[in-house]
Amino acid sequence: MPQPILERSPILELRGVDKIFGDFAAVERVDLSIAEGEFFTIVGPSGSGKTTLIRMLVGMDAPTRGEILLRGQRINETPANKRPFCMVFQSLALFPHMTVGENVAYSLKCRGIGKKERRERATECLALAHLPASYYDRAVTKCSGGEKQRVALARALAYDPEVLFFDEPLSALDYRLRKTLEKELKDIQRETGKTFIYITHSLEEAMVMSDRIGVMRDGRLAQVGSPREVYDRPRTRFVSEFFGEVNAFPVTAKDGRLWCEPLAMAFDPPPDAPAGFKSGALIVRPEHLHFDPAAAEPIRGEVFNEYLLGSRVQYQVRAGGTTLLVEGMGGQPPATREVALSFSPADSLLFAE
Amino acid sequence: MTDLSETLPASAASARPSEAPARPAWRPSTGLLCALPMLLLLGLGFLAPLLIVAVYSFMPRGTFSLTSAPTFENYVDIVAQNFHISFLWSIWLALLTTVILMAVCWPLAVSIKKLSPSRALLLTVLIVAPLFVAENIRLQGWSLFLDRAGLLDGGLKATVGLSTGSLTANVPVVVFGMVYIYLPFMLFPMMLGLANVPPAALEAAQDLGASRWQQFRDIELPLAAPGLVIGALLVFVISLGAFSESKFLGKGVIVTVSEDIESAFTFGQNWPRGSALSVLVIVLAGAAAFFGLRRLDLDSMLGRK
Amino acid sequence: MERRSLADRLRSAWLWIVVVVLYLPLVAVGLASLSESRFFLFPIRKYSLKWYEESFASLQIRDALWTSVALAAVVGVIATVLAVFGALAYARHDWTGKGWYQQIVLAPIFFPQSVLGLALQLWFNTLGLDMTWHASVFAHLVWIAPIVTMVVAIQAYGYDASVEEAARDLGATRWMVFKDVTFPLLWPGVFSGLLFAVLLSWGNFPLSYFTSGADVTVPEWLYGKMIGGYTPMVPALGFLSVVAGGLVLAVGLAIQARLSRQP
């Protein structure tokens, strides 16, 4: 069993970091501590400030306020070529006029390492990224999308950085290749023991690879935690909705229960409901809504659409003027179009507004 | 349903998507049709005149027709009568202009690339605009600026009591004039070349530990090289034909080959000699342009999608 | 604001210095045209507009202006028409011989103009043609049409060629595709090309000098006076020519900006 993440010493720390462009705050008051050897993913919609954040960490932008610490040492003023970090760019930024090997060995060349050793070390890194040594002399422009991805990874590994950064490098690839590379990336991280910081807008990608996830919104970190925590106990409605479509019932507190006006019925609050709750939204994920003809207090509705989502089936149910989403594993479709739905209060999330 | 005999040629045709599908065999391609007027113009207005010049260069001295027996005497005369000196001057000046302009324009191109699009456009317009003013006028302006009692000399005398005297009528001022006149021809190809350097590639190099110098030498320069080559060729070839600069700023301190060619056609009344000198210029310019441009992929340089 | 490095600051200072130097001689020409004395001495003792009055009164100068305007207008139109088709062949279509064509189009640009002018003079002479400004139209075209072709070609490279295939697929003839799809999409480049052609022709000296015969353009008239003996009418007419070119450029850019704003 590896040591729990938070007990390890932090390698990178951000303290009150702001980045302001004109009168727009791209990143605002970010505090974050990343542990040695961790796979940390920053997730957020486009424009949430995640790229700006990573550029400050790598040293391509300077923070307007706040401090960035590497093992306790302030590195705000250290330029990118002096930080022990390396980035895999979204565009990959491979040097088009060089071969695969020259790309991978470039950082070694910059450090004045001899030709023979360069070739040896670059070949090792190619192997680590699952590329055969025969690719060394191939033109980088002749490589396929997935191969380019691996070259970029090998190039970053050859630099032997303490922290590797990834700026959505997989977003341009097709689904299957992306899935393969996600797993390989996780394996490489485990093998090398290096700290990986990854940014993506795909929560699915984040869930697969990360030790911890930081969800960003409007330049702030909305929540930081393990994938389980973030999924099961989202701290805001935004985080809960970021994981995909959800059912949101507008509710008000009434006699210790939650009254939902559009459905004209009451629900039991979740066990950890915030004290003094007045009104807000009760969130239930589609997979937590069940067809339940025997329910004591069912939500009554009518199925009007169903979609096959691979192994699962999603139903759209019209109830009290709203549309509800129900997901099942298939197999037990409702017998009639008129259905009764229920959920366990423990599976619901309550957010005040 | 198509049968097999039709499938093969159809798939071969679809490999070239921009050709009109299934046109009758006897019709010329759209590309050739579009090129035809331009080819006609350049055939009649460029290739034919050059051919005539070449033929004249083999006619005996002082003839004005093309009917005599060919001879090499004009080429022999060039060396015998020291006309090669002006030719060498022109090559030297053109080389000097090219090298100086590379150094002058590189920082310009780099800083224009860093400007916002609207500011870059403004600067581009500011730099293009003087191209539309006849070079005579601009050189006359420099002459008014640099001569004795001109803007510089007179201005200094009136303000601080210093005198520069006349700064014209020397070789450096000729080179200055050429650098001034041909600057846009180096700058714009260079900007085109620099546009082919993705900013992320430079950042990646920096991230991998490359110093400023290493970034310049390993990434920026090789990726921008096609634009640099085009700019250098353009400046070299065009400035090979320069003559206004030596006339108006050099005030006759040197004679360029174009001046010799012109006087052979006018005062000298020796068309074959002028032609022979022209042929030397044409061969040199043509060779430089041909070997330089052959290696470049113009399609991708100009941004083919 | 971003911190800017010293190198960046030096570079941008250099940029502005160069721009100022580019315009220095034009300032000198403007000042010289305003000096009353027959010979230019700085600082100017007495300012006057009399050289402009004399220039406007001169029949020679009126003729030169008329010749230059006619030349620029005719060259502008013909060069642009040639260049639109030339650019399509250059950038848009794949055809056998395209590689050669691309080299041939570039050749006149990569060529000393004075030598080209002389070669054309010799060629017209051999053909027994009269040399007037009509001959200069042809001479200008040889140099300007390729340049405009490059300007339009950049636009042609930039657009998605599949729209033409879509139009053809919807039943448009070759001509309709050109008229309804290709040309409207190329138009911004075509307009820049026209502007370039007019202005380059307006400012050209070497090609006119060798081919216009007895007709005289503004740059030729200036050259004649500069060789034959200075008169303040040289800077006066020179500056007028600069202002005229500047006006055409400004109006052209304003139209261009409006065009590109409309969808």
**Contact (CB<8Å) A93/B201:** yes
**Contact (CB<8Å) B209/A81:** yes
CB-based contact A231:A262 (threshold 8 Å): no
**Contact (CB<8Å) B207/A106:** no
Local confidence pLDDT in tens for the 305 residues of chain B: 334 443 334 344 444 444 444 544 556 788 888 899 999 999 999 999 999 999 999 988 878 878 888 888 888 888 888 888 899 999 999 999 999 999 999 999 999 998 988 888 899 889 988 888 888 889 989 998 998 888 888 888 888 888 888 888 899 999 999 999 999 999 999 998 898 888 889 989 988 889 889 999 999 999 998 889 989 998 999 899 888 888 888 888 888 998 888 888 888 888 898 999 999 999 998 888 888 777 776 666 665 54
Q: Measuring CA to CA, which residue among A147, A226, A158 is closest to residue A180? A: A147
| Domains of chain C from N-terminus onward | 51-261 (1.10.3720.10)
**Which of B85-89, B213-217, C164-168, C251-255 bottoms out in mean pLDDT, i.e. has the lowest?**
C164-168
CB-based contact A170:A182 (threshold 8 Å): yes
**Taking the domain A245-352, which CATH number applies?**
2.40.50.140
**Is A22 an interface residue toward B (CB < 8 Å)?**
no
* Binding-face residues of C in 11-30 toward B, CB within 8 A: 11-12, 14-15, 18-19, 21-29
Residue with tokens 């050859």: A158
Per-residue tokens: B203: 């950042």
pLDDT in tens, C169-213: 787 888 888 888 888 888 888 998 999 899 999 989 999 999 988
**Is C257 an interface residue toward B (CB < 8 Å)?**
no
Sign of the dihedral through C-alpha A286, A291, A297, A300: positive
Mutate to test the interface with B, among C77, C121, C122, C220 (most CBs of B within 10 A): C122
The ipTM is 0.87
Numbered ranges of CATH 3.40.50.300 in chain A: 5-239
Per-residue tokens: B60: 């005996």
Mean pLDDT taken over chain A: 88
CA of B196, closest CA in chain C: separation in Å? 14
What local confidence, expressed as pLDDT, does residue B105 receive?
A: 95
What local confidence, expressed as pLDDT, does residue B304 receive?
A: 54
Q: Measuring CA to CA, which residue among A21, A38, A20 is closest to residue A29? A: A20
Residue A198 binned pLDDT confidence (cut-offs 50, 70, 90) = very high
Taking CA atoms, what residue in B is nearest to C96? B32
Taking CA atoms, what residue in A is nearest to B223? A97
CA of B215, closest CA in chain A: separation in Å? 9
The yes-or-no verdict on residue C92 having pLDDT over 70 is yes
What local confidence, expressed as pLDDT, does residue C262 receive?
A: 57
Partners of A35 in beta bridges:
A10
Interface of B with A (CB under 8 A): 198, 200-201, 203-211, 214, 218-219, 222-223
**Is C188 an interface residue toward B (CB < 8 Å)?**
no
Mutate to test the interface with A, among B196, B202, B206, B208 (most CBs of A within 10 A): B208
pTM here?
0.80
Indicate whether B53 belongs to any domain.
Answer: no
Q: Which 8-state DSSP code applies to residue C47?
A: B
pLDDT in tens, A139-185: 998 999 889 999 999 999 999 999 999 998 888 888 889 899 999 99
Q: Which residues of B touch A155 (CB under 8 A)?
A: 208
Indicate whether B13 belongs to any domain.
Answer: no
**Contact (CB<8Å) A81/B208:** yes
Indicate whether B276 belongs to any domain.
Answer: yes
CB-based contact A6:A198 (threshold 8 Å): no
What local confidence, expressed as pLDDT, does residue A352 receive?
A: 86
CATH of the domain at B233: 1.10.3720.10
CB-based contact B144:C32 (threshold 8 Å): yes
Indicate whether B287 belongs to any domain.
Answer: yes
Q: What is the DSSP string of B124-167?
A: HHHHHGGGGS-HHHHHHHHHHHHSTTSHHHHHHHHHT-------
**Is A311 an interface residue toward B (CB < 8 Å)?**
no
**Contact (CB<8Å) A110/B214:** yes
Residue of B203, B210, B222 lying closest to A97 (CB–CB): B222
What local confidence, expressed as pLDDT, does residue B16 receive?
A: 44
CB-based contact C108:B43 (threshold 8 Å): no
pLDDT in tens, A298-336: 898 898 888 887 778 888 999 888 889 998 765 566 777
What local confidence, expressed as pLDDT, does residue C97 receive?
A: 85
**Is B183 an interface residue toward C (CB < 8 Å)?**
yes
Q: Measuring CA to CA, which residue among A29, A32, A26 is closest to residue A195? A: A32
Domain containing residue B113: 70-294
How many structural domains is chain B composed of?
1
pLDDT in tens, C33-80: 888 887 787 778 888 888 888 888 888 889 999 999 999 999 999 999
Per-residue tokens: A116: 């023979």
What local confidence, expressed as pLDDT, does residue A6 receive?
A: 53
Give the three-state DSSP class for C33. Answer: helix
**Contact (CB<8Å) B144/C120:** no
Query: For the domain with range A5-239, which CATH number is right: 3.40.50.300, 3.40.1000.10, 3.50.50.60, 3.40.225.10?
Result: 3.40.50.300
